[in-house]
């Protein structure tokens, strides 16, 4: 099997078996087929493996005071908690449990995995650990009132709404 074909096969397998690649941008290693090349040549084409479409709005991380950070982070997490508790009350979901304590919100979805959202006061961020898309760090944009992920500009509500809707099988809207 040629080096180019091996490289393409390895890349396809990695993309298929690495769920955290879902919303990331991946650089594909392109192997040169010339006899003189003995190592991979990196090119810049990017591949998006996610079918989800996120906003293209530009956000800017705010320089929040500690008091303002805690106010908006607590408001966000408590709003998410309220909706998640309502979902748990209205739907019979196997393994569903939601907890919020000391700035850490944990959502257990049985076979759907566990989501953890927590405050990170030193960085003035909210961190999300998702069983579908992996870890992310969200900054706050005061103009829009949204928590956004700086790498691809999606907001915390967009990713949670999309992922939870997929897992639960009905439309989820956590934040307005």
106 beta partners: 99, 116
Helical segments of 45-173, H only: 66-90, 156-168
CATH superfamily membership of 66-168 = Frataxin/CyaY (3.30.920.10)
Cβ 30 vs Cβ 7: under 8 Å = yes
All structural domains of the chain with their residue ranges: 3-48, 66-168
So what's the pLDDT on residue 58?
82
- Please count the other Cβ atoms lying within 10 Å of the Cβ belonging to residue 93: 16
- Please identify which residue in the block is written with the tokens 């090119």: 43
142-170 residue pLDDT tens: 999 999 999 988 999 999 999 999 999 99
- What count of Cα atoms within 13 Å lies in the side-chain half-sphere of residue 77? 27
Confidence of residue 71 (pLDDT cuts 50, 70, 90): very high
3-state secondary structure of 125: strand
So what's the pLDDT on residue 61?
86
**CA-closest candidate to residue 141, choices 129, 126, 130, 128:** 126
* CA separation for the pair 92, 113 (Å, rounded): 16
């Amino acid at each position: 099997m040629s080096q180019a074909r091996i490289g393409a096969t390895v890349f396809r397998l990695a993309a298929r078996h690495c769920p955290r690649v879902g919303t990331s941008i991946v650089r594909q290693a392109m192997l040169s087929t010339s006899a003189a090349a003995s190592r991979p040549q990196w090119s810049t084409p990017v591949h998006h493996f996610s079918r989800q479409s996120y906003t293209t709005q530009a956000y800017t991380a705010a320089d929040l005071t500690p008091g303002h950070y805690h106010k908006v982070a607590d408001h966000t997490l408590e709003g998410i908690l309220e909706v998640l508790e309502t979902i748990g009350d209205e739907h019979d979901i196997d393994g569903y449990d939601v907890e919020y304590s000391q700035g850490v919100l944990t959502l257990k979805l049985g076979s759907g995995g566990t989501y953890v959202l927590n405050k990170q006061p030193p960085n003035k961020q909210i961190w999300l650990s998702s069983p579908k898309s992996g870890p992310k760090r969200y900054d706050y944009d005061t103009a829009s009132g949204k928590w956004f992920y700086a790498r691809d500009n999606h907001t915390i509500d967009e990713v949670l709404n999309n992922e939870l809707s997929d897992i639960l099988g009905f439309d989820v809207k956590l934040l307005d």
